[in-house]
Amino acid sequence: MNTIGVILAGGASRRMGQDKALLTISQSTMLTRTYKLLLETSVSKVVISRNDGEAGHFPDLYPGKGPLSGIHSAAMRFPNKNLLILPIDLPLIDVSTIQRLLDSGEKFSRNVRFGEHSLPLYLRNTETTRQTLDYTLRCTNSFSVDRFCTHFPLMKLQLRQQSPLFNSNTPEQWRFAMQHFETSECSVPTEVRHGTC
């Protein structure tokens, strides 16, 4: 079973105040940039989980239940594919970081993430995975990706620098992340490296 890339871009972006998927880096939206990054890895194709009615985008089967609902929708729609899941709000993510996650998942046939970061995630899309996702969304009040991962063997990779996983959910976090692209050096601001913003 090969792996597809899944972009989670269905959130309401309430803290950002505008659609995170449409924020731009170097004249490219986050949605386009994330899509292109995944295409540069060895996934077989890239799909987009997004509740906007656009052709080619697939909506949540259980709306309003966060990223786990997007993961569930991808797992159900592509039952014969493992999933390399990337959220839309990682502006500093790079191809080598994503590929490392993919390589580890495929090599060891395990669910894989970086340390305590619940996303990005390599997810083996088994029947048990789909049943657990469906049960969690229908019959519980806990829609945490982190908690869902505790149901399966999980491999945790370590990163020397945490900056590729810097999460931008607010305008302040976004401005800090954008300093990375505005400077001539490829250094990330201290606040970004340590997540103190």
Mean pLDDT on 37-63: 95
Residue-range domains of the chain with CATH: 3-186 (3.90.550.10)
**Strand intervals (E) in 60-102:** 82-87
What pLDDT shows up at residue 53?
Answer: 86
| Residue range 141-183, pLDDT digits in tens | 999 999 999 999 999 999 988 899 999 989 999 999 999 877 6
| Residue range 53-80, pLDDT digits in tens | 888 999 999 999 999 999 999 999 999 9
Number of H helices, E strands in the chain: 7, 9
CA dist., res. 60 & res. 156, Å (int): 27
Q: Cβ(141)–Cβ(65) under 8 Å?
A: no
CA dist., res. 167 & res. 104, Å (int): 22
What pLDDT shows up at residue 1?
Answer: 77
User: What is the β-pairing status of strands 24-25 and 111-114?
Assistant: unpaired
What pLDDT shows up at residue 44?
Answer: 97
| Residue range 91-103, pLDDT digits in tens | 999 999 999 999 9
What pLDDT shows up at residue 189?
Answer: 42
Mean model confidence pLDDT for the chain: 90
What pLDDT shows up at residue 165?
Answer: 96
Mean pLDDT on 23-45: 95
With both helix axes pointing from N to C terminus, report the angle between 67-77 and 127-139 in degrees, rounded to the nearest 10. Answer: 140
